Amino acid sequence: MPLKLTTYYGGNKVPELPGTNTFHSTELFHIYEATPGYTPILIVASVDDKPVAKLLAAIRTSARLFPPGIIKRCEIYGTGEYFEENMDKESVFGDMLQRLTSEALRKCFLIEFRNLDNAMFGYKAFRENRYFAVNWLRVRNSLHSLDKAEERFSPSRIRQIKKGLKNGAQVREAHGTEEIKAFAQMLHHVYSSKVRRHFPNRNFFQQLETQLMKEQQSKIFIVTYKGKIIGGSACIYSDDSAYLWFSGGMRKSYALQYPGILAVWKALDDAKEQGYRHLEFMDVGLPFRKHGYRDFVLRFGGKQISTRRWFHFRWEWLNRMLIKMYE
């Protein structure tokens, strides 16, 4: 039977779909749709009106000071979700990729596939659609073989956690609209000083609560001191893995409480308690230079994993040049 592709831009049009991958879920589609600055694109592949695969992308708008301008980029986490074991997944992905590339390049400057579970999956399709690959790094903590999440932490990291708690910091899961709003305001303040770190509209975190927290697909942890939120982290859960998407703390104002460190520790500790096999840090910086955040999270005992990201630029001359550079 021929494969049929359907593209959805509005959540009210999306039918009920199977699947367990949070990064290609209808719930995340609704989160993007309700967050200013995001435009979701969902491509569903069907055979005889039965869904066999889906691919969720998000076009996000960000303002840059250096260089100045407004940039639209399309981001995809992974390479989609597939519902039939015996299907030719590479072929289906190739068809969805061709459709997504055509749709997205009309609206954005850059398409980026990141967090690939299998770095070789879709290689032929990416090349045929004129994407180029850049070697990248992922940082992931394996939790399934540990009795406690702290077993592989550096000694200095364990001392800092103990000091932070001793000096009055408390760590727990956030509950309710007001706490999540305060968490988002704190984290926006932390991220605003980092020119190259993207931070979504604060409504994104309210949508996490509405769409994902009830089913335990997401959690927000907060670090408090004397009743004030001074740090925190936001996690997404998909299948048997946890993903730390955003985290930070007011380390200059509350150095003795180590809020950023406690926020990551709580995310790891909870993921271990909930039985997840791994926790992955979603963005640990460019691979070709030292990066402060990557060095920071590695001291929690994770490992660097070599992978790749696939890119496609709208400007054909630039895309051709980069394809030659990264062949």
Assign domain 139-306 to its CATH superfamily: Gcn5-related N-acetyltransferase (GNAT) (3.40.630.30)
CA 295 vs. chain centroid, Å, equals 19
What is residue 195's predicted lDDT score, i.e. its pLDDT? Answer: 46
Instruction: Enumerate the H helices of the chain as residue ranges.
Output: 26-34, 89-104, 123-128, 155-166, 177-191, 203-211, 259-273, 292-298, 316-325
Amino acid at 16: E
What is residue 57's predicted lDDT score, i.e. its pLDDT? Answer: 98
Q: Could you tell me if 7 and 99 are in contact, meaning their C-beta atoms sit under 8 angstroms apart? A: yes
Q: What is the CA radius of gyration of the chain?
A: 20
What is residue 63's predicted lDDT score, i.e. its pLDDT? Answer: 63
Residues 6 or more apart whose CB falls under 8 angstroms from that of 134 comprise 287, 308, 309, 311, 326
Same fold, 3-129 and 139-306: yes
pLDDT per 10-residue tile (average), the chain, 327 residues = 91 92 96 95 95 97 62 94 92 97 94 91 96 91 91 93 97 92 92 69 90 87 96 95 93 93 96 95 73 83 89 94 90
What is residue 68's predicted lDDT score, i.e. its pLDDT? Answer: 46
pTM: 0.92
What residue segments make up the domains of the chain, in order of their start?
3-129, 139-306
DSSP 227: T
Tell whether domain 3-129 is in CATH 3.30.420.10.
no
